[in-house]
Structure 1
């Protein structure tokens, strides 16, 4: 909805149903996903430019915490995971019904009667993660860019939003401004907000100085909303799952920067356990300028 002055809409609707090639991808039976992915990965690994691009992503993420040989190995797994990502968004039952450990912690935080921020990274199948949480506990709100659902948005982004909202979740237009997001929280809702979005805040993550955004931490402290960290996991057999941490009191931290540091620290073990699950890390973080 938008006001008479043409303000940005507060809530976003589910994009129109899939069409064209999207319908074909949706029609592939779930049991055939591995076969489709295997064929696509086989082709990707024979394209030096594709492998090099994947290596850049994993080196950017892991250069300070892994050896070159380890990064080479992760790169091969990253190629496979990114291919799974592009297919599994068209199989919402697989990624939208992941088991959620710690859902009782979210339930307890919600019962406190305050807003709750679910802090997550673009790690794992995060569109399915929000759907899974909404199904496991109760529908939630999700901060989403309106550019993801416009008529000219890429088909895969529209499908991404469809999956994220499939369990009755509500999309909140991040472009409507911090005041709109804060109102959702002060009204006592649970809202999932990505913590790894581009920004100018200096931070330290996985052994490296980077630039990111303190937006989620600022919102939590500004509205005195509890924060729970959601992490993504993948077992050795490929089974996906999620975990929700203990509620964090935002005002226990002296500043939003200190809270942000804690939110990122809590994510590091999950990232190190499944680094190939991090989607396009170079898109998420900036780098401080170098001297000279």
Structure 2
């Protein structure tokens, strides 16, 4: 009987602690990932998510807490887990001196029942650079090759670190289709990503990490539907007075709207956005001779939730 049928959670992390010197990079973190589901681990740079995943992969030994993958300790039972776990590292972790196709063939020979190399080559568009040495591949090409190497052995658990980073839209969607297929085959997929649309599109469960701890988790719907807030997005001249806009949109007895210039000329208004909000904003702009070139109102996105939880300060 496959191990994924013997354990409720394919990955289970309890009270994980990992220190570098006197600093706890991971500080009492709990996380679970189910078979047949995509678990997205999100967090700003330095939040502890990559260290957490490396402990799950057996690449780092925890200083406290417990980590179990398919019911086994990834550090002590590495040999038993290796044929059953696929790993795609953030930097690829690939040998650089051999052609891409040869590298994938070598990895496939390590498994008893590998996926069809022809199928993977076609699905991920590897044929166009199969004879090129890994060191000469573009970033997106390396990512596709690393993903193929991670899944060629038909893993029960796949750890994918930034699986579509640096890819063009066509490649990104091919990767997403493969991730969905893995989930439908019963694989527990754990991915880390900075692309909120990737997490929103793929994840069955989202875990937000900051300061070495889980600060929020749930389905995408649960996280984005936690309030009745909406987000108004606006393109207008850069450098508008955000404090003045906030004051112009204020209504007695209602919490202030959160107005921000997220990039030069791109503004968001988050909160209880109503038709009167749009009218007041466009009137404020008209009085100053400013023109809105794009204005949309929609539900809060996962990116909105992420920024609310982790802040807008650069790390």
Highest CA radius of gyration, 1 or 2? 2
TM-score of the two chains, using structure 2 as the length reference: 0.31
Greater helix fraction, Structure 1 or Structure 2: 1
Higher relative contact order, structure no. (Cα contacts within 8 Å, ≥ 6 residues apart): 1
Greater strand fraction, Structure 1 or Structure 2: 2
